Amino acid sequence: MPGQVAAWLIEQVGWDGEGPLDLSSRLVLVPTRQSGRRLREALAVAAADRDQAVFAPKVLVPESLPAEVARRPAVASRDQILVAWIRVLLESHPSEYRAVFPVDPPRRDEAWARRLAGRLSRVQNELAAGGLRMVDVLSAPDMPETARWRELARLESRFDALLAEHGVCAQVVANQAGLDAVQPPAGIESVVVAGCPDPNPVAVRYLEALSPSVPIEVLVYGPCTTAGREAFDPWGRPIPERWVDRRLELANFETQVRLGADPAQLAKMVAERALAEPNPEEWLALAMVDPQITASLVGEFEDRGEKVFLPEGEPWRQGALFGLLQALAKLVESADCRSVGNLLRCPDVMLALEQSGEGGIGADTLLRHWDRVLENHLVQNLDEAITQADTFPRLQAALRVVEGWVSALQNEVFADVAVALPAAILGDQTVTSDGLLAEGARRWVEVVARLKEAVNLMPNLARSEQWQLALDGFAEGTRYGPRAPDA
- At 360, the pLDDT band (50, 70, 90 cuts) reads low
Contacts of 314 (CB under 8 A, 6+ apart): 478, 479, 481
Q: How far apart are CA 409 and CA 413, in angstroms?
A: 8
Taking only the tens place, the pLDDT of each residue in 310-349 is: 877 778 888 889 999 999 999 999 999 999 999 999 999 9
Going by C-alpha positions, the residue among 294, 394, 272, 289 that lies closest to residue 344 is 394
> Concatenated DSSP letters for 66-108?
HHHHB--PPBPPHHHHHHHHHHHHHHS-GGG-TTT-SS--S--
DSSP 24: T
Mean pLDDT of 136-152: 89
Amino acid found at 415: A
pLDDT for residue 470: 97
Contact 161, 200 (CB under 8 A): no
> Distance (Å, rounded) from C-alpha 60 to C-alpha 480?
21
Q: What is the 3-state secondary structure (H, E, C) of 207-272?
A: HHHHCCCCCEEEECCCCCCHHHHHCECCCCCECHHHCCCCCCCCCCHHHHCCCCCCHHHHHHHHHH
Going by pLDDT thresholds of 50, 70 and 90, the confidence category of residue 127 is very high
Q: Can you give the pTM of this predicted structure?
A: 0.82
User: What is the C-alpha separation between 28 and 122, in angstroms, rounded?
Assistant: 29
Distance (Å, rounded) from C-alpha 154 to C-alpha 148? Answer: 10
- Alpha-carbon distance 364 to 370, whole Å? 10
Q: In this model, does residue 77 exceed pLDDT 80?
A: yes
Check residue 293 and give its pLDDT: 84
Q: Residue 224's pLDDT band (boundaries 50, 70, 90)?
A: confident
State how far the Cα of 403 lies from the Cα of 386, in Å rounded to an integer. Answer: 9
